[in-house]
Amino acid sequence: MSVPFEKIAPYTYRIPRHGKMRVDAVFYASETILRQLEEEDYASLKQLVNVATLPGIVEPALAMPDIHWGYGFPIGGVAAMDADEGVVSPGGVGFDINCGVRLLRSSLSKEDLEPLKERLADYLYARVPAGVGSERRDVRFSRRELKDVLREGAQAVVTRGFGEPEDLEFIESRGRLPGADPDRVSPRAMERGAPQLGTLGSGNHFLEVQYVDAIYDLEAARAFGLFEGQVTVLIHTGSRGLGHQVCEDYVERFLKRLSLYKIELPDRQLAAAPIKSPDGDDYLRAMAAAANFAFANRQLITHFTREAFEAAGFAPRDHGLRVVYDLAHNNAKFEEHKGRGLLVHRKGATRAFGPGHPELPRVYRPVGQPVLVPGDMGRYSFVLAGTRGAMEKTFGSSCHGAGRRLSRAKAKKLARNSDIVGELARRGIVVRAKTRATVWEEIPEAYKDVSEVVEVVHGAGIGKKVARLRPLIVVKG
Amino acid sequence: MRHLEELPHTADLGFRVRARSLPGLFYWAGRGLLAAMFEGPLPPPHGHRILRLSADDLETLLVRFLNELIYLALTREEVPVGLAIRLLPGDRGCALEARLAWVPFSRVADRFLGEVKSATFHGLKIEKTDAGYQAQVVLDV
């Protein structure tokens, strides 16, 4: 089955409402991305069409240019639901609730770092737990403290000395989603999450030390505190096993209630319940708790990163590590767009509020929200800024990354025949990883060139290029 | 019969599973999951555990079974290396009893390929075929 679509503006395509779709769908793509969509037999566009059938969806169902085939929702999908009439779908948030990225800036230049790069890589690897079963035995949380984290998010760990109060100002929603209720989180989710607070995980999660190698928008870069040659740190992780279990619990629960709520689904992974129902409310409160866990997780890793820089020989006044921004790319949030209350699901998509939005830190309001777009560990990542165009067209949303080009099996097959770590070292990138397999899966060739995605975002006006970051150290689980 | 066939899923991990019987389908789905998490032959078991699960339908039972294996391997650090499965009539729907032989995660850490977050319901339908049963499994990794 093919999917009908038409070009309506530069880089912008519309799938007209057909079949059981309740609204049109819109996606963003270049010619290259269109060919990639065709190569996967439009599997991700079919998923976007499925999303457009959900009750209460507000036009249009959206996909960002890093769209690719997921489960239920496409990755890169954005679905805004009417806050009164719509549904909430745990699959529209994903298993890794509030998976996201945090960018730190430093006072160091690439030249300052170079002599101590290997040493810093060792300390980061030692201090930031990565991989299954890894934890900091000196940083533990009681059950009561864990509940505080679920209610209060990043604030709960800053209060306990892990970070600076100033960090909170530069986290989406100040690192705390309101309404979180730990009692809506199952005992198994708590069990899975308890030892994982302050851990990176494995798979595509990482910590990268990078440097700014290009500035495209000086005004925005200045507002974000970025300058050419500057050392930065990008942290990518989420809510770990706690979030995975919350999603599992509520997908199953919602599937049982579909007939009660008279919801018909083209794919069971889209399981949903009305926002204004006891089931919907329970999920939203559990999801907020998991999101708060993720904000606290990235906060702890920020603290461990500062520790590692200090252990490597950079005094706090020298490294000057500060949070540029922390944002979620798997979430559902209540927002107001064009005067209407909506619950915006972003699954592999980033909130990208434009200039002047009152939710942004005061220093960023003139230029818009930082949008952090990781690429792959061999090339580069980007910092963009949210735009008025995004507010107008995409419910204030933008892309979240490069998107995979190769399956994990194909990537591993390719990587087995080469010395990836050695090749990256020759390009000046130091890798520390728990397992070879994780590095193999994540080789640069496994990913599309993120600049292709970024050019579409920039060209379509749903994000503005600010800076490009190149990796120096990669830490993986 | 080819029991496991990888699906060309780029972001996540999927496979088609086929077996002559329903317990066989669950067994091979479990094997497919474990092959996604660990490479190579796994050592002899260290302990055993009986797992009992029930669900309203077979698809939910399969997802629940796979998620239980993920939980045991990654949270309890008991990696299943042997599976013996019986399907039973449940109070409502269907039920399963599995005898799991396991090894501690630490003994197979060097063979770990990466975390699996969860089994999904995406495109999941257990179908009767001329040769037995088949299903498509997509894992979030």
Run of H or E including A136: none
Quote the CA–CA distance of A218 and A222 in Å, as a whole number. 6
Lowest-confidence range among A305-309, A365-369, B37-41, B124-128? B37-41
For A160-218, the pLDDT digits (tens) are 999 999 999 999 999 999 999 999 999 999 999 999 999 999 888 999 999 999 999 99
Q: Is the pLDDT of residue B93 over 80?
A: no
Q: Which of B121, B126, B137, B141 is best to mutate for the A interface (most A CBs within 10 A)? A: B121
A40 token code pair:
């996967």
- A10 assigned to some structural domain: yes
B140 contacts A252? CB cut-off 8 A: no
CATH code (residue A289): 3.90.1860.10
B141 token code pair:
């990794």
- A292 assigned to some structural domain: yes
For A400-428, the pLDDT digits (tens) are 999 888 888 888 888 888 899 999 999 99
* pLDDT value of residue A220: 98
Specify whether the CB–CB gap between A78 and A69 falls below 8 A. Answer: no
**Least CB–CB distance from B115: residue in A203, A255, A407:** A203
Q: Which residues of A touch B77 (CB under 8 A)?
A: 132-133
DSSP A221-275: HHHHT--TTEEEEEEEE--HHHHHHHHHHHHHHHHHHTTTTT---SSGGG--EET
A119 token code pair:
């040493």
Share of chain A above pLDDT 70, in %: 100
A408 token code pair:
């994990």
CA A110, A113, A117, A120 dihedral sign is: negative
Run of H or E including A109: strand A100-109
* pLDDT value of residue A254: 98
Report the CATH number of the B4-140 domain.
3.55.10.10
Q: Which residues of B touch A406 (CB under 8 A)?
A: 10
Q: Which of B134, B49, B10 is nearest to A445 (CA)?
A: B10
Hey, where are the domains in chain B?
Answer: 4-140
Whether A205 is catalytic is: no
* pLDDT value of residue A410: 86
Q: How many CA atoms lie within 13 A of A356 on its CB side?
A: 5
Helix (H, G, I), strand (E, B) or coil at B25: helix
* pLDDT value of residue B90: 67
Looking at every residue in chain A, the average pLDDT score rounds to 96
Share of chain A above pLDDT 90, in %: 89
DSSP A85-105: T-EE-GGGT-SSTT-EEEEEE
For A80-92, the pLDDT digits (tens) are 999 999 999 999 9
**Least CB–CB distance from A75: residue in B6, B11, B123:** B11
A251 contacts B122? CB cut-off 8 A: no
DSSP A332-362: EEEEEETTEEEEEEEES-EE---TT-TTS-G
For B33-82, the pLDDT digits (tens) are 999 999 888 899 999 999 999 999 999 999 999 999 999 999 999 999 99
Specify whether the CB–CB gap between A291 and A227 falls below 8 A. Answer: no
B140 contacts A71? CB cut-off 8 A: yes
Specify whether the CB–CB gap between A86 and A58 falls below 8 A. Answer: yes
φ/ψ of A316, rounded to 5, equals -50, -40
Quote the CA–CA distance of B15 and B4 in Å, as a whole number. 6
Residues 6+ apart with CB under 8 A from B9: A69, A407, B138
- What strands, in cross-sheet order, belong to the sheet with B94-104? B47-55, B94-104, B78-89
In total, how many domains does chain A have? 1
* pTM for this prediction: 0.96
Instruction: Give the residue numbers spanning the domain of A221.
Output: 6-476
Q: Is the pLDDT of residue B11 over 80?
A: no
* pLDDT value of residue B120: 95
Quote the CA–CA distance of A389 and B139 in Å, as a whole number. 35
Q: What is the mean pLDDT of residues A48-57?
A: 98
Q: What is the mean pLDDT of residues A220-243?
A: 98
- A1 assigned to some structural domain: no
Quote the CA–CA distance of A409 and A204 in Å, as a whole number. 14
CB contacts < 8 A (A, B)? 107
* pLDDT value of residue A134: 81
Quote the CA–CA distance of A200 and A204 in Å, as a whole number. 10
Q: What is the mean pLDDT of residues A456-466?
A: 98
User: Does A75 reach chain B within 8 Å, measured CB to CB?
Assistant: yes
Residues 6+ apart with CB under 8 A from A114: none
Q: Which of A64, A69, A71 is best to mutate for the B interface (most B CBs within 10 A)? A: A71
Q: What is the mean pLDDT of residues A358-363?
A: 97
Q: First vs last Cα of chain B: how many Å apart?
A: 27
- A279 assigned to some structural domain: yes
**Least CB–CB distance from B74: residue in A75, A241, A441:** A241
